[in-house]
A and B are shown apart, each in its own frame.
Chain A
């Protein structure tokens, strides 16, 4: 059994967007934890709340309209949500760092790579000289596998390719040796070969530096390659959580099953790829019942009436679906027999 300590615990997190057309609970009562040195994946379609989850942890939810309305985010037993802005700034970069989806726009176009890396180092290591910071920056560029590191320092972002820029972003994120790295779709904007390189790099750095990684993606392939544990999100809720092997071999929630079936498999010839009918409902639009019920082929009476909770189906495997509610099923059977 895994006895690593959890470094990040998200408890009952609720982040709501207050818009003109009503309240949108983008993240709705989410619980999960991340252990030291672990790679945890969060998967889901666009708009399921995975990016908002990561921004909530960083305290960067655009406000207004967004607001964290409830829950706790414990980093090493300190609640990030109760911290002042100054304390939070110290956590960002130092303890928790983040890399973003678009390497093309995540670097300031007006400054050289070196400039930006040195700036990032000096924010947290205030006593360092510029020269020390420079050496650290070059060391980081080498660490992320960039050749000619010291030449690169004088280059502008537009002179680098997307993959190189994402490496620079990773270098910048890791510059202060954070405990947790949040990667929000780090490979989505890159082409497939570069994607594989970046994932390999992240996995390597994870083992080498023992940085816990929270990997947010919509790509199940990415999850399969890098993660140890997976959380599947749907419409602001966690609907399934399991070790990565279990998710692929024995998915339980109909939505997860659908997701896995809709990935093309080179081993089987299919005329048509499976697709889940319909769209993700906007969070907050479904008042009663399971949020997936309308698209679910197994939906029954109860699914339309009540919102299921997460049922533990085996160790470390949880599913938010009535099909796995043993007690409920027994009760139902009993009721049927009696009647």
Chain B
């Protein structure tokens, strides 16, 4: 047997590429939807901008040229300048990094916390479930942006606190999603079968129930990144997010609101950046849902 195994492994590896795992299937389904691919391209575009942009657009985001205040788009300033004579394009490029950072990490935070709470609530049920679910209900009873404002007010306005606030307000959404998924999965026969071979609870929870409840979370997570970016922008607009010179998109919008009539480009371009990113994530999320949710198939 042992002298055979390297050879056997070789054959087997060749087979893997042909064999379709559930993730591969989902990718196939995703590729079929043109709109979803467009969404993905937009998202990738902004990710690339966020990653390499700051190296390209070096000419300072905070350098002020008072002589060039509120200039319309031109060959020198592609997207114009703002009231301090700063290049709007550079600021948007740097802002992409902030917005995506807030979007990703707040959602990762909510997913991790929400998953753990949701899984515990769903699997153990009874009073544990009651307590966790009621907390979720209470949190969902507040309008989310108001709750975020309240949390930021308590923690003090800063970009990091805005991120934490956004993460907190999204926890119940993911918690409930996972809980409902776990409730149905734990009745599945392969879970009973796993218990039947003597598996421990923790192992069943994290290596069998969790991966199987991830599909809707990925979909919801993608859509939530869009919402989180919007919420971050809203908090920034209200002065509760990034502090003054930081080029956060919502903040740029807020700072330019006085020039809406005299220099509309100061608002239009950062607004467009927000809209496009959110649109990209939403399209991608919808595509993922179609690809991963079995009910949407056929």
- B19 touching A154, Cβ below 8 Å: yes
- What residues on A are CB-neighbors of B143 within 8 Å? none
- What residues on A are CB-neighbors of B199 within 8 Å? 89, 119, 123
- B198 touching A94, Cβ below 8 Å: yes
| Known A92-B198, A105-B188: A159·B19 in contact at CB below 8 Å | yes
- A124 touching B8, Cβ below 8 Å: no
Which residue of the partner chain B has the closest CB to A105? B189
- What residues on B are CB-neighbors of A154 within 8 Å? 12, 15-16, 19
Indicate whether A328 reaches chain B with its CB closer than 8 angstroms.
no
- A135 touching B1, Cβ below 8 Å: yes
- A90 touching B198, Cβ below 8 Å: yes
Q: Of the candidates B1, B15, B197, which one forms a contact with A123 in the assembled complex, judged by CB atoms under 8 Å apart? A: B197
- A172 touching B12, Cβ below 8 Å: no
Main secondary structure of the interface of B (DSSP, over half): helix
B contact residues, range: 20 to 34
Indicate whether A156 reaches chain B with its CB closer than 8 angstroms.
yes
- A108 touching B197, Cβ below 8 Å: no
- B197 touching A93, Cβ below 8 Å: yes
- A102 touching B197, Cβ below 8 Å: no
Select the residue from B188, B192, B200 with max chain A CB neighbours within 10 A. B192
Q: Of the candidates A60, A101, A108, which one forms a contact with B195 in the assembled complex, judged by CB atoms under 8 Å apart? A: A60
- A100 touching B193, Cβ below 8 Å: yes
- B198 touching A153, Cβ below 8 Å: no
Indicate whether A306 reaches chain B with its CB closer than 8 angstroms.
no
- What residues on A are CB-neighbors of B11 within 8 Å? 150-151
- A156 touching B22, Cβ below 8 Å: yes
CB distance from A183 to the nearest CB of B (A): 11
Which residue of the partner chain A has the closest CB to B207? A119
Q: Of the candidates B19, B21, B196, B211, which one forms a contact with A92 in the assembled complex, judged by CB atoms under 8 Å apart? A: B196
> What are 21 A-B pairs with beta-carbon distances under 8 A?
A58-B195, A60-B195, A89-B199, A92-B198, A93-B196, A97-B196, A100-B189, A100-B196, A107-B193, A108-B190, A108-B212, A109-B190, A112-B21, A119-B207, A123-B198, A135-B2, A154-B15, A156-B19, A159-B19, A159-B20, A172-B197
B60-104: CB near A (< 8 Å → 1, else 0) gives 000000000000000000000000000000000000000000000
- What residues on A are CB-neighbors of B190 within 8 Å? 105-109
CB distance from A168 to the nearest CB of B (A): 11
Which residue of the partner chain A has the closest CB to B191? A108
- A120 touching B197, Cβ below 8 Å: yes
- A110 touching B198, Cβ below 8 Å: no
CB distance from A87 to the nearest CB of B (A): 10
* 8 A-B pairs closest in CB distance: A93-B198, A93-B197, A92-B198, A98-B196, A105-B189, A89-B198, A106-B189, A106-B193
Beyond the given pairs A91-B198, A123-B198, A156-B22, 15 more chain A to chain B contacts, judged by CB atoms under 8 angstroms and listed by A's residue number, are A93-B197, A93-B198, A97-B197, A98-B193, A105-B188, A106-B192, A107-B190, A107-B193, A110-B22, A110-B212, A123-B199, A124-B198, A151-B15, A158-B22, A175-B197
A positions within 8 Å CB-CB of B: 58, 60, 89-94, 97-98, 100-102, 105-112, 119-120, 123-124, 131, 135, 138, 150-151, 153-156, 158-159, 169, 172-173, 175
B residues 165-214 with Cβ under 8 Å of A?
188-190, 192-200, 207-208, 211-212
- What residues on B are CB-neighbors of A58 within 8 Å? 195-196
B1-33: CB near A (< 8 Å → 1, else 0) gives 110010010011001100111100000000000
Q: Of the candidates B12, B16, B188, which one forms a contact with A150 in the assembled complex, judged by CB atoms under 8 Å apart? A: B12
Complex alpha-carbon distance, A159 and B16, angstroms? 12
| Known A92-B196, A169-B193: A151·B12 in contact at CB below 8 Å | yes
Complex alpha-carbon distance, A123 and B21, angstroms? 24
- B12 touching A153, Cβ below 8 Å: yes
- What residues on B are CB-neighbors of A91 within 8 Å? 198
- B8 touching A150, Cβ below 8 Å: yes
B residues 204-238 with Cβ under 8 Å of A?
207-208, 211-212
| Known A106-B189, A156-B19: A92·B212 in contact at CB below 8 Å | no
Complex alpha-carbon distance, A94 and B5, angstroms? 27
| Known A108-B212, A156-B21: A173·B16 in contact at CB below 8 Å | no
- What residues on B are CB-neighbors of A106 within 8 Å? 189-190, 192-193
- What residues on B are CB-neighbors of A169 within 8 Å? 193
Complex alpha-carbon distance, A109 and B212, angstroms? 8
- What residues on A are CB-neighbors of B19 within 8 Å? 154-156, 159
- B189 touching A102, Cβ below 8 Å: yes
- What residues on A are CB-neighbors of B207 within 8 Å? 119
Complex alpha-carbon distance, A175 and B188, angstroms? 22
Select the residue from A60, A111, A131, A138 with max chain B CB neighbours within 10 A. A111
- What residues on B are CB-neighbors of A107 within 8 Å? 190, 193
- What residues on B are CB-neighbors of A94 within 8 Å? 198
- B211 touching A110, Cβ below 8 Å: yes
Complex alpha-carbon distance, A172 and B195, angstroms? 12
Complex alpha-carbon distance, A101 and B189, angstroms? 9
Which residue of the partner chain A has the closest CB to B211? A110
Which residue of the partner chain A has the closest CB to B13? A154
CB distance from A189 to the nearest CB of B (A): 11
CB distance from A214 to the nearest CB of B (A): 13
Select the residue from A106, A124, A138 with max chain B CB neighbours within 10 A. A106
- What residues on A are CB-neighbors of B12 within 8 Å? 150-151, 153-154
Complex alpha-carbon distance, A173 and B1, angstroms? 23
- What residues on A are CB-neighbors of B200 within 8 Å? 89
Complex alpha-carbon distance, A240 and B100, angstroms? 70
Complex alpha-carbon distance, A286 and B117, angstroms? 44
- What residues on B are CB-neighbors of A135 within 8 Å? 1-2, 5
- What residues on A are CB-neighbors of B8 within 8 Å? 150
